[in-house]
C-alpha cells in the first residue's frame, strides 16, 4: 500500500469519527503519516487556494518571544483535518501558543505556559 493510499484511509477514518462522534486512536504509522502531511503542508502555505471560496481552517502560532504577530503554519478546508493538524501542532510545539481558526473565529486554542502567566 502506498503512502497516498494510507493517507486516504486516514482521512476516511477521520471522517467516520466525525460522523459517529467517536474519538480516533492514531496508530504510530498514522501519526507519522499525519506528521509528514503537516510538514508537507507547511511547504505549501501561501500557495493553497480555498476551493469554492470556502473559509480555510488555519493553524496559527503566536510569537512568544516578544515579537508581534502570528504565523500561519498550516491550512485546510476540512475541519476534521484542521483539528487533527491542531492536535499534532500542539505536540510538535509544546512551548508555543497554537490556535485553530476559521477566519476571525478561534475554534481551539492552547496557550503556552510562557505566555499564560503560570
Quick one: DSSP state of residue 65? S
- Please give the residue that has the higher pLDDT: either 48 or 4: 4
What is the distance between the alpha carbons of residues 92 and 89, in angstroms, rounded to a whole number? 5
Provide the 10 A C-beta neighbour count for residue 12.
10
What cell numbers appear for 9 in the block? 484511509
Q: What is the pLDDT of residues 82-113, one digit of tens each?
A: 888 888 888 888 888 899 998 888 888 988 76
Give me 56's grid cell. Answer: 480555510
pLDDT higher at 80 or 118: 80
Helix, strand, coil share of the chain (percent; to 5): 45, 20, 35
Q: Does residue 56 carry a pLDDT above 60?
A: yes
The reported pLDDT for the residue numbered 32 is 73
Amino acid at each position: 500500500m502506498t503512502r497516498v493510499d494510507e493517507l486516504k484511509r486516514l482521512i476516511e477514518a477521520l471522517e467516520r469519527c466525525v460522523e459517529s462522534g467517536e474519538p480516533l486512536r492514531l496508530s504510530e504509522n498514522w501519526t507519522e503519516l499525519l506528521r509528514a502531511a503537516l510538514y508537507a503542508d507547511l511547504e505549501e502555505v501561501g500557495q493553497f487556494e480555498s476551493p469554492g471560496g470556502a473559509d480555510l481552517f488555519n493553524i496559527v502560532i503566536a510569537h512568544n518571544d516578544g515579537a508581534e504577530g502570528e504565523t500561519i503554519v498550516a491550512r485546510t478546508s476540512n475541519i476534521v483535518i484542521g483539528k487533527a493538524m491542531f492536535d499534532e501542532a500542539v505536540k510538535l510545539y509544546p512551548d508555543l501558543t497554537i490556535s485553530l481558526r476559521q477566519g476571525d473565529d478561534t475554534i481551539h486554542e492552547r496557550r503556552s505556559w510562557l505566555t499564560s502567566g503560570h
